Amino acid sequence: MTTFSDIDRLAISTMRLLAVDAVSKANSGHPGAPLGMAPAAHVLLRNMRMNPKNPGWINRDRFVLSNGHACALLYSMLHLTGYDFSIEDLKSFRQLHSKTPGHPEFELPGVEVTTGPLGQGVCNAVGIAIAQANFAATYNKPEFTLSDSYTYVFLGDGCLQEGVSSEASSLAGHLQLGNLVAIYDDNKITIDGDTKVSFDEDVLKRYEAYGWEVLTVNKGDDDLASIDAAIKQAQKSKDKPTIIKLTTIIGYGSLNEGSHSVHGSPLKADDVKQLKKKFGFDPEQSFVVPQEVYDFYQKSVAQPGAELNAKWDQLFSSFQKRYPEVGKELVRRLSGKLPENWDEKLPRYTPKDSAVATRKLSEMVFEDIYAELPELIGGSADLTPSNLTRWNEAVDFQPTNSGIGNYAGRYIRYGIREHGMGAIMNGISAFGANYKPYGGTFLNFVSYAAGAVRLSALSGHPVIWVATHDSIGLGEDGPTHQPIETLAHFRALPNTSVWRPADGNEVSAAYKSALESKHTPHIIALSRQNLPQLKGSTVENALKGGYVLQEVSNPDIILIGTGSEVSLCVEAAQLLAAKNIKTRIVSMPDTLTFDKQPTEYRLSVLPDRVPIMSVEVLSTAGWSKYAHQSFGLHTFGASGKASDVFKYFDFVPEGVASRAEKTIAFYKGKEVDSPLKTAF
């Protein structure tokens, strides 16, 4: 048991007041949760293994603040324990370009994941815990425990109400993630007031139903010994995640403690003063940290952490000598590099190869690369036989006692939980060790996970969505399953690669781009139906994002297609050729990648003086950046045989050709600039 004394209480008061001062100075933010949760934060710090001078140490314990609005608490914790956060940083809380934005952001030292959108953080923590379990099962040896870290997560009522957390929590229970400890701030308050207006379920009973260990601390804002005992108990339960319900008073110490008025607005000046007095601080001073508090955190947290880190470094050194091969692999992974020439394994195709659905080609990529890339870990949201996301020899990531896999397995059965899957992938990526998580579902249902996809893009987690059944080409399942708006949506999301490969070479390119990406999530949209291997496609061409697939001299029109519509454009071009109309065909598997090419190259693909028409059997929104005219869908799809549905919407060679002719006629005699040329 840790013993607590006056210095602990002084440290807690300091932490509370730093958070309050930050919010007051910004005149914006959330003082309530920091006041209530500072004791738990302090006790947790005393139980955590971390080295503030080396925030990237792979065997650190992780701390996720799922209720990210309480970040004034997190920044105070990081400052006090010696991370690279100064008092000046706290003073510029929530100001433009500060290191202390309104919600914690992944790239900051000591911030494990970006949080704020409720429910995400706890799912990220599940992902981190999965990665740790896999990492440990893969690399630990009897005499070398390289990985045994815990993931701790604070969460509030909001995180528990969001469905995404239910998805990940149910899976975490199934997976028996004993390395995961959630601390629930049960303060009975949300923005709308008392939780009894909408949330009176029995949370612990629910988590028991998921298979978690559940613990309770009644005086969470005061009873340090009980908090400590609960955390230690949680550490001991190795085959279950633990949730500790901590009853706290929101805004503890404030004149308005226990009310929702302290949740999201600065305390009044008078209130801050009485609070400082109450905690034994000078009411006239702000951002005060007694030296003994710095010293205490140094001695009790930072120094032991640094020592453990140094010991681990020695251990790893010996490991490398004892297991040179694996050691090399680990060094590589920890440096964030892929194996040299890994991409030589990617399959390549010629037009003589047979027509294959791109989802199937994606499966063939997995077959060819899984052995090369131990960092590849993924699964499907219960659509494995449709998404084709599992290589033949894959072992499921499952607890050993389940008899259906083990933690060294790299295939995750996510269940029908797309949003949870997306958030868990972010956590796996955030763990480090170059983990490359992927997840399969129908393209249409990536939208269920929009909240998590957005955070992949914002945080720069290069996760991979294997998004099959990418159009009305899925046929009979009908409009509930046929994406229309989906590509437009994710292309409009900054820092998101949306690939829609047309054939095998482009599928290989998509995976090369995805797996080599350091900071950009990839959505790879794949067909259900077979597509021919195209003349003119190469992996290298496709890696430019857009390229001339089939060239003619002096084209009358340029057709840009993606995915299944590229071969449709090729067929349309043949009809047009019969009328002496010359067509250049451009394949554009990923607009974001194309945008990054030099202007000269882009203009060589999409030059002046030729009308350009895009062809994609989804919403046309966004295509005008590349084309003068767009052929797409502006209604929902229909249930029927895929070929019937394509025909109904006129996505047949004749339909494309006739629109190409109209486009040529429309621009006849007009000065036609490349759409790439803009005023600013």
Residues annotated within a binding site for Mg(2+):
157, 187, 189
Note whether 23 and 266 are within 8 A (CB).
Answer: yes
* Binders of Ca ion in range 519-558 (CB under 5 A): none
Shortest Å, Cβ 480 to its own copies: 4
CA distance 648 to 144: 63
Cβ-Cβ contacts under 8 Å for 48 (sequence gap 6 or more): 61, 63, 150, 152, 301, 305
Q: How far is CA 2 from the centre of its chain?
A: 36
Shortest Å, Cβ 526 to its own copies: 17
Interface pick for its own copies out of 335, 392, 480, 554 (rule CB under 8 A): 480
Here the tokens at position 654 are: 């004749």
Interface pick for its own copies out of 3, 6, 143, 196 (rule CB under 8 A): 196
Choose from Ca ion, its own copies, none: what does 205 bind? Cβ within 5-8 Å by kind. Answer: its own copies
CA atoms within 13 A of residue 140's CA, in its CB half-sphere: 15
Q: Is 477 helix (H, G, I), strand (E, B) or coil?
A: helix
558 closest CA partner among 611, 632, 623: 611
Q: Which residues of 445-467 are buried (b: 16+ CB within 10 A; e: fewer)?
A: bbbbbbbbbbbbbbbbbbbbbbb
Here the tokens at position 16 are: 């509370």
**Interaction of residue 671 with its own copies, rule CB under 8 A:** yes
Shortest Å, Cβ 648 to its own copies: 6
Annotated binding site for thiamine diphosphate: 69, 116-118, 158, 187, 263, 445
Interface pick for Ca ion out of 156, 409, 504, 589 (rule CB under 5 A): 156
Number of CB atoms found within 10 A of residue 107's CB: 10
Give the chain's end-to-end CA distance (angstroms, integer).
64
**Interaction of residue 223 with Ca ion, rule CB under 5 A:** no
Shortest Å, Cβ 245 to Ca ion: 12
* Binders of its own copies in range 457-476 (CB under 8 A): 457-458, 475-476
Here the tokens at position 35 are: 């006041």
Choose from its own copies, Ca ion, none: what does 24 bind? Cβ within 5-8 Å by kind. Answer: none
Shortest Å, Cβ 382 to its own copies: 5
CA distance 102 to 108: 13
Cβ-Cβ contacts under 8 Å for 79 (sequence gap 6 or more): 18, 85, 86, 87, 89, 90, 289
Interface pick for its own copies out of 9, 49, 91, 103 (rule CB under 8 A): 103
**Interaction of residue 213 with Ca ion, rule CB under 5 A:** no
Distances from the Cα of 301 to the Cαs of 18, 213, 501, in angstroms?
19, 27, 50
Q: How far is CA 139 from the centre of its chain?
A: 24
CA distance 234 to 215: 8
Shortest Å, Cβ 74 to Ca ion: 16
**Interaction of residue 408 with its own copies, rule CB under 8 A:** no
Shortest Å, Cβ 474 to its own copies: 9
Choose from Ca ion, its own copies, none: what does 614 bind? Cβ within 5-8 Å by kind. Answer: none
Number of CB atoms found within 10 A of residue 372's CB: 17
Interface pick for its own copies out of 88, 163, 218, 574 (rule CB under 8 A): 163
**In the complex, which residue's CB is closest to Ca ion?**
157
**Interaction of residue 173 with its own copies, rule CB under 8 A:** yes
DSSP H or E segment with residue 65 = strand 62-65
* Binders of its own copies in range 321-340 (CB under 8 A): none
Residue count at the site for Ca ion (CB under 5 A)? 4
Interface pick for Ca ion out of 14, 138, 151, 187 (rule CB under 5 A): 187
**Interaction of residue 201 with its own copies, rule CB under 8 A:** yes
**Interaction of residue 288 with its own copies, rule CB under 8 A:** no
Interface pick for its own copies out of 329, 353, 372, 396 (rule CB under 8 A): 396
Q: Residue 418 catalytic?
A: yes
Rank residues 518 and 680 by Cβ distance to its own copies and give the closer one: 680
Query: Of 213, 363, 418, 616, which residue is the catalytic one?
Result: 418
Longest dimension (CA), the chain: 90
60 closest CA partner among 152, 155, 130: 152
Helix 358-369 and helix 504-516, axial crossing angle in degrees, nearest 10: 50
Distances from the Cα of 160 to the Cαs of 67, 130, 163, in angstroms?
10, 20, 8
Rank residues 116 and 504 by Cβ distance to its own copies and give the closer one: 116
Residue count at the site for its own copies (CB under 8 A)? 127
**Interaction of residue 208 with its own copies, rule CB under 8 A:** yes
Shortest Å, Cβ 636 to Ca ion: 27
Interface pick for its own copies out of 83, 414, 438, 547 (rule CB under 8 A): 414
Interface pick for its own copies out of 640, 652, 653, 676 (rule CB under 8 A): 640
Stretch that binds its own copies, among 74-82, 126-134, 377-385, 511-519 (CB under 8 A): 377-385
CA distance 403 to 395: 11
* Binders of its own copies in range 591-630 (CB under 8 A): 611, 613, 619, 621-622, 624-625, 628-629
Interface pick for Ca ion out of 21, 61, 157, 167 (rule CB under 5 A): 157
Residue numbers annotated as active site: 418
| Residue ranges that bind Ca ion, judged by CB under 5 A | 156-157, 187, 189
